[in-house]
Structure formats: structure tokens, C-alpha cells
Chains A and B, each alone.
Chain A
Amino acid sequence: MTATTPDLVQASRLPGVAFIFKKALISALVALLLFSLMIGIRTEAGPTGQLIYWTRSGDLAAMVVTVFGGSILVELLRQWWGPVGTVRIVPPNVQSALALARRAIAPLLLIFTFLVPVIFYDQRYILDLGILVLTYVMLGWGLNVVVGLAGLLDLGYVAFYAVGAYSYALLSTNFGLSFWVCLPLAGILAAFWGVLLGFPVLRLRGDYLAIVTLAFGEIIRLVIINWQSLTGGPNGVSGIPRPSFFGIPLTPGDDGLAAKLGIEFSPTHRIVFLFYVILALALLTNWVTIRLRRLPIGRAWEALREDEVACRALGINTTTTKLTAFATGAMFGGFAGAFFATRQGFISPESFTFQESALVLAIVVLGGMGSQLGVALAALTMIGGFELFRGFDQYRMLVFGVAMVLLMIWRPRGLIGHRAPTVFLRHSQAISSELAGEGRG
């Protein structure tokens, strides 16, 4: 008996090996055809302007071999892991440990974030990176209102970011308004544009909505590029004033904050100040979102995400629900834009391309559409990942695209988060008939 078992295993494995090999061979063949012209041959404009080309058979062979090996590896992984959707049962004690970790992670992360400028005071690079990550956390949380809560796929979110940034840049350079006056104005203007976009797209759903918001984002960018007299066109706006500590500038002069506090001036003060400003703005976004989620409007957003037709049948005004979602999300985008402008001191249309929209959207999707903590962790992962790939600038958007496809295939609900409605019936109550008669059922 014991001798036959390995034979049986062998017998059942053998066709598997042949199958895997055949599949890998087909993949390699397809790859050879796909890459033959695009990678096997490289074209470039020669010295006289005439196109010349040269072959790269080594690269082509490497790619085909990679596909062959990768295909075998994927197939083996698939056999080992089981079909997509396999549920792994986690032991209860591990589950409770995980639940504890999940509860603890948000406060710990918050405390750590507060301490970042203290710990890394001397490391300008880390502080800058922290500000960048927090900007994207804020953008992610803002877009989360539209995509995660209300379920409206918005591919033009960067438009509101741009509106906020240009509002602050133009108001401050032309009228000398301070950052703290412009910040609410930028938010209001962005929210106004959000409503303006919201009106026409009220009737659209799903994919159509996505394309229209994309077109809207592109229109805003093209107008910024072409309206040179107002926005400076492709050259952008420069010399945007830095923020002040509620009226006290962060400069080395006598009236600067450092002199007033009697400490030595250091340029790091401004970075730390900016760090706390964006942290406060991001936390404001988070707090408002969490509060709104508990209000009737937040419930209506989640209901809208789950089923629009049912929503309408229940008498929810989908018009106001959608418009408030757009306006709220846009307002936070506007805040983040104003912050971006004051941090950079220079803005140009280059910063507001579709790529940015897709990046923020990817953060929301990776975070699990609706989960606040998930979005924050996703922003950290995504921006951190981009920093790791800094040396390979060309490849990082390629990796980004591949990651997005793989994410949709393996974890369409996001890596960390959840998107369950916040209220639902936990269990049906069994009650006696007299209570039902009193209307408690």
C-alpha cells in the first residue's frame, strides 16, 4: 500500500507537468510575437533626422525567457495556492491577535506621525517625504468620500486639486491674501467646481461617470495651459508666498517667529510647521468624514453606493446626495491643492495630469474603498514604493500599472480595508406577538 501512494501522486502530477510546460511554451510564443518588433527593434531619429533602427535580440530573448519562466512560476503558485477565492481558515487565537493589532495600529500610527518631526528633525529628506505622504493621505481621504463612500468613480479628482492650488496661487500673488484667508476660499472654490461638475453627471452611472470626470479633469488642465494671461500657461505661477504662523512669518528677520520666540532661526522650522499643517488638514478631513458617515447624509452616500435604484425607491434624494459627495470631496481636494501651492512655491499644469488622478484613485482602491485606515496605509505604501523606485523613474509607472491590474485580479476589495456599510441588521430579533403588537418589531 505504501509503495503505491507515491506512484499515484506521480501519475496525477505528470499531466500537470506537461500542461504547465505546454502553457508556458504558448505564453513564450505569444511573448515572442508581441515583443518581436517593439523590443527586438529599437528606432530612433538619427543625426540627420532620418529614422534609424538597430536590433536588440538579446533583450528580446531575455524577455521571452522571463515570460516562459514566469508562466511556469505562476502556474506552480496557482496549484499550490488553490483556485482564486480559496478561503484560508485562520486559527482563532491568531484571529484575535490580528484583531488586536488592527485596533492598535491606528492610534500607534497617529502617535508615530506626531513624533516624526521630533525623531527625524535633522533629516530633511524624511520630513519632505512625510509631507508628501500626508498630502496624498489627505487627497485619498478626500476622494474616498466620492469613490469609497458614495461609490461614484471620479477620474478627474486632480481638477479640484488644481483649482485649489491655482486659487491660492493667484489670490496670493495678485491680491496679497494670506494662506489662512485663502485656504477656506480655495476649499469653497473647489467645492463650487465640484457642484458644477456634479450637475451634468447626475444621471450618469459607473463607467460613463468615470469618463466624463476624466474629460472634466482634462478640460481644466487644458484651460490652465491655454489661458496664459491668467495662469501663466505652461510656465506656471512662481513666487507663491510661504505660509505664516498665523501672521508671523517664518523668516530669519527680526519680526520672524524664531526671533520672537528667542530661539535661533533654522529653515527646518518651516518644514516642521508645514508638516503639522498638512497633518492637521488631513486629520480634519478624516474627522469630518467619520462624522459625516454617521449623519443621514453619510448613510445616504453608503446606500447610494450599494444600490442607486433602491435608494431612489426609498425616497432618498439622489441629486443632493451626489452633489454633496462631489462638493465635499472637491473641497478637501481644494484644501490639499492650496497646501501644495504654498509648500512648493511654484505650480504648473505639469503637476495636475491624469496620472495624479489615477495615483490617488489607486490609493483609494488599494486602501479598500471606504476604509480610512486602509487609505492612509495605502498612501504610505504607494508613495513609499515610488520613492524606492526613484532610481528607476521610467519603470515606476509601468510597475504601478501592473500592480493595479494584479490588485484587481487578486484583491479587488483592496489590500487592507473593507467596504461594508456601517449600519446593518446584526441579527433578526425573535420577539413575542404582544411586543410586535406594540410596534417594537
Chain B
Amino acid sequence: MDYFAQQLINGIVLGSIYGLIAIGYTMVYGIVGMINFAHGDIFMIGGFIALISFLILVSIGLTAIPLILLIVLLVSMAITALYGWTVERIAYRPLRQSFRLAPMLSAIGMSFVLINYSQIAQGARVKPVPPIITGGYSLFEHDGFVVRLSNVQVIVVITTVVLLAIFTWLVSRTRLGRDMRACEQDQTMAALLGVDVDRTISMTFVIGAALAAVAGMMYLLYYGLVDFFMGFVAGIKAFTAAVLGGIGSLPGAMLGGLLIGLIETLWSAYFSIEYKDVAAFSILIVVLIFLPTGLLGRPEVEKV
């Protein structure tokens, strides 16, 4: 029971990270109708930028941890968002009118570019950082097993919740959110009614990338390392989360992320850690067969 409670906590934390990445997939799929294959690698770039800005801040003598974290968060969000914008501008926008598979193939190419760019720029070795946030609480103890909740876990969950609140407000209350929802329903009609479709799509990528940057930073804080290949597997899992929650649905992406995080953690805890990725990928296949619209998704009408 205590072991289970501990795994539950770990799963929720991991799930928050997946959920943040999954939102990027689901938003882009909802509006442009393509799988942004390079999104996982945007998450990796976010992790790298968080790492580098953290190193600089520490080396110039800043000691106040909350201030450092805030600056790192803002810097990595800003620069990663610019990466998202650039990727869309270079690789996807020219392909709006192209054939069906073109954006997907272009995205695969972009994913290779980002992976190898980081490998060349920062080297192939894993970059470890010492634990930045230490300490935690012992929740309860039973039969000598202590259930712990570390400060990092608290910060990850709180940041996720706060960002989700801001994000939900953005989509449901602001002009930009209204434009995004309009483009999701009908791009041509939205354009006719004066919505700048290109700008809205760009903003979608920017927001998705900023959230992925937060996920990258949380990953760095939680696991204490980044490497150039971490975006690939994390990306597929986050996509699985988006599909599980119902692609196009924002609460669905978060729910799917939490579920995938929990399933992965519990699978590693009770079955085999070697096959945890196999479990996540199998879920993707199973969900698409039996529940193609996901948990909270709307069924897609097939039009000729």
C-alpha cells in the first residue's frame, strides 16, 4: 500500500511532464491536422536551454534559488518558443497546400535536424546536474517504508497546475484563444471573418513550444540530466498521451499524460522496468484500435 502510494506520487509527477508535452501535440493536431513529429525534440531543446541558462546564472554568483528558477523558466520558455516558431515558419508553413503526407515527412526531417544540431552543438554525452532543489517531506511511515514527497515533485506539480490555469484562461478567455478555436473549426471561414490564420497557427506552435520548454525544465529538475536523444521516446509517449486523452482536446491531453505517467511508473514498479517503453507504445496501439477518439475526444467525421 505504501509502495503503491509512493509510485502513485512518482507517476503523477511524471504524468505532469508528459501532459505538458502532450498539449503541444494536441493543439497543433487540432488546428493544423498534422502530427508535429519534431515536438519531442523541442522539449529536448527546452531542457538544454534550461540547463545552460541555469549554469550561467549559478556561475555569475546568483544564489537565491527561487529567483534562479524563475529566470531559467522564463528564458527557456522564450527561447524554446522561438524554436517552435522557427520550425513552423521553415518546415511547415510552406507546405500548407501540399499533399497529405508532406508535413509529416517534413516534420521527421526537422526532428533529425534538431537532434543532430544539439548533438553537434553540445556533444553526445549525457549532461548531469547536481540536484538543484533538495529536501522533502515524509508523508507517513508504515512497516519501515517511508512514503516521501520531495520538494522537486511539489514544484513540478504546482508549476504544471499554474501553467495549465494560465493556458486554459488563454484559450477560453482571450482574443487569441478565440482565434485558435475558430481556426480549429474552419480555417477558411475564420480567414473570411478576419482572423489572421497564419499568425494564429504560429502562436499555436509558440505556446506549444513554451509548454514543452517548461516540461524540459521540469525533466531537468526531476531527473537531473539531459541528453540530445531524450526527445524521441518522450515525444512518442506524450503523443500517446494526447491520443489516449482524445486528440484535439486540451483537458484530454493532461488526463492522458497523467494516465501514461501512472501506467509507466506502475508498470516499472510491479512488472519489468525493461519493458516500460514497450508498455507505453502498446497502449498507443491498443487505444487507437479500440478507442480511436480517445477518452475526451470527439469522433471525427469522414468527409470525401
Instruction: Identify the A interface with B (CB < 8 A).
Output: 30, 33-34, 36-39, 41-45, 49-51, 53, 84, 153, 155, 200-201, 203-204, 206-208, 210-212, 214-216, 218-219, 222-223, 225-226, 307, 309-310, 354, 358, 361, 365, 394-395, 397-398, 400-405, 407-409, 412-413
Contacts and interface: CB of A to CB of B under 8 A. Distances in A.
B160 to A, nearest CB: 24
Contact of A405 (B101, B109, B281): B109
Q: Is the interface of A mostly helix, strand, loop or mixed?
A: helix
B162 to A, nearest CB: 24
Interface residues of B, number: 68
A45 B127 contact: yes
B136 interface: no
14 contacts: A37-B52, A38-B49, A43-B55, A44-B123, A45-B127, A208-B243, A212-B284, A219-B278, A307-B304, A397-B116, A398-B113, A400-B112, A401-B116, A409-B91
B122 interface: yes
Interface of B: 34-35, 45, 48-49, 51-53, 55-56, 59, 75, 79, 82-83, 86, 90-91, 94-95, 98-106, 108-123, 125, 127-130, 232, 236, 239-240, 243, 274-275, 277-278, 281-282, 284-285, 288-289, 292, 302, 304
Contacts of A404: 105-106, 108-109, 112
Contacts of A51: 51, 55, 127-129
B113 A401 contact: yes
Given A401-B112, A405-B113, A409-B94, A395 B120 contact: yes
B239 A211 contact: yes
B104 A153 contact: yes
B98 A412 contact: yes
Given A42-B123, A211-B243, 5 more contacts: A38-B121, A41-B56, A208-B292, A310-B304, A404-B112
B110 to A, nearest CB: 6
Contacts of B111: 401
Contacts of B289: 200, 203
Given A43-B55, A43-B127, A409-B95, A358 B108 contact: yes
A405 B94 CA distance: 10
A42 B121 contact: yes
Contacts of A42: 121-123
A223 B278 contact: yes
A37 B116 contact: no
A204 B288 contact: yes
A49 B99 contact: no
A83 B266 CA distance: 55
Given A222-B275, A401-B110, A409-B95, A207 B35 contact: yes
Contacts, number: 176
A168 B226 CA distance: 38
Contacts of B35: 207, 210-211
Contacts of B95: 408-409, 412
Contact of A45 (B101, B125, B277): B125
A322 to B, nearest CB: 14
A218 B277 CA distance: 9
Contacts of A403: 109
A412 B102 CA distance: 7
Contacts of A223: 278
Contacts of B104: 153, 206-207, 210
A218 B79 CA distance: 31
A405 B106 contact: yes
Contacts of A226: 274-275, 278
B267 to A, nearest CB: 13
10 cross-chain pairs, A with B, having the tightest CB-CB distances, nearest first:
A404-B109, A401-B112, A401-B113, A398-B116, A215-B281, A408-B106, A405-B109, A226-B274, A207-B35, A37-B52
Nearest to B100: A206
Given A309-B304, A361-B105, A405-B91, A43 B122 contact: yes
